[in-house]
Amino acid sequence: MLPRLLLLICAPLCEPADLLLIVSPSHPTEGSPVTLTCKMPSLRSSDAQFQFCFFRDAQALGPGWSSSPKLQIANMWKEDSGSYWCEAQTMASKVLRSWRSQINVHRVPVADVSLETQPPGGQVMEGDRLVLICSVAMGTGDITFLWYKGAIGLNLQTKTQRSLTAEYEIPTARESDAEQYYCVAENGYGPRPSGLVSITVRIPVSRPILMLRAPRAQAVVGDVLKLHCEALRGSHPILYWFYHEDVILGSSSAPSGGGASFNLSLTAEHSGNYSCEANNGLGAQRSEEVTLNFTGRRSTRDPLRSLPSPVPQEFPYLNSPTPGQLQPTYENEPREQSVAVHGRQQHSSEQKAQKPWGHIWRTRFP
């Protein structure tokens, strides 16, 4: 043990002899394997009892002394560059040393940086996991990856690792995560950015609200009833379906906001319950029911028929988005009339100048 320790200490002082160090490949790149061979051109079969050791910058490599004249290095990195040599020890403890060989490990700059998403296509459901995967087609050594949000470049995360890919995770995607993203990779030769990737957060529709609009307070046969359905939340486009007693009346699509409407010419069979459904491909939601009751055709003596109103009137019938309180009732109040004006109650005596005739219908929810 002591002679071996002395040899390690004295290795740089040993005189070169008929010993060669062969490096293959001679110009390695990062991440590639290298084989070191300690060769004695004048070695005879009777000289087989040799021990070999390989060195880099005065540091023994691998297992130290062994009977094998070869040393396999699985991966060479930039920091492995240096001065290499080998030594051979005879049975008589004579030490031979090769000439030094300078090995420079070459780093490959990063190239072809790309950003991909999981799930693919840049679309994710609200509440689901979103992963931004930054990749390089080539590049060696420690690579630093950076992720940015928006065109102005808000830095989200930075990772340095010896890999061609790295991931940035958003555990729970929200509506505010809908934005453009890009990543940057660099390994000492300057940053290389990816292209922009747009992320869309898909939001299921909320329960829609149905409103019925009639041209008068008491709808009659022949009137045109306007059904308006709107989901206050959800990704567009949204397809709306309209129902009377669970029978489909028709459908309408809303490519942006504002809901959709459907016009219905009333017949005697159209009394009953109305509802609507919203669907944007992420699940359908049905509104509460709205009940509309009316009788036969309007009388010719109806003052609403003979006296035109100075202001066109619409009478809305709303469903309640809250479970319970499902069916509104409608009351005729021909005498003591009360309507809301800018948040206050105005009695009929204040409105005689504007409405000297007719009936005001007020919608009540029990």
pLDDT in the model for residue 185:
98
99-130 pLDDT per residue, tens: 999 999 999 999 999 999 999 999 999 999 99
Q: What is the pTM of this model?
A: 0.64
Give the count of beta carbons closer than 10 Å to the beta carbon of residue 365: 12
Mean pLDDT (whole number) for 354-362: 31
% residues pLDDT > 90 (the chain): 60
Max CA pair span of the chain? 134
Q: What single string gives the DSSP state of each residue in 175-218?
A: GGG-SEEEEEEESSS--EE---EE-EEE-PPPPPEEEEEESSSS
Q: How many CB atoms lie within 10 A of CB 12?
A: 13
Bridge partners, 117 (sequence order)? 132
Residue range 243-253: mean pLDDT, rounded:
94
Q: Is 60 exceeded by the pLDDT of residue 181?
A: yes
CB atoms within 10 A of CB 201: 21
Instruction: Label residue 263 by pLDDT band (50, 70, 90).
Output: very high
The band of 298, judged by pLDDT with boundaries at 50, 70 and 90, is low
Q: How confident is the model at residue 72 (pLDDT cuts 50, 70, 90)?
A: very high
Q: Give the pLDDT score at 50.
A: 87
At 12 the pLDDT is 44
SS3 12: helix
Question: Judging by DSSP bridges, how do beta strands 123-125 and 200-202 pair with one another?
Answer: parallel
Spatial distance between the Cα atoms of 346 and 337, rounded to a whole number of angstroms: 8
pLDDT at 44: 54
Residue 316 binned pLDDT confidence (cut-offs 50, 70, 90) = low
With CA atoms as reference, report the closest residue to 212 among 287, 160, 290: 290
Tell me if 107 sits within 8 A of 82, measured CB to CB: no
Q: Answer with the residue of higher pLDDT: 201 or 152.
A: 201
- Domains of the chain, CATH where assigned: 20-103 (2.60.40.10), 111-202 (2.60.40.10), 208-292 (2.60.40.10)
Instruction: Tell whether the model's pLDDT for residue 363 goes beyond 50.
Output: no
**Each residue of 20-35: pLDDT tens digit?**
999 999 899 998 999 9
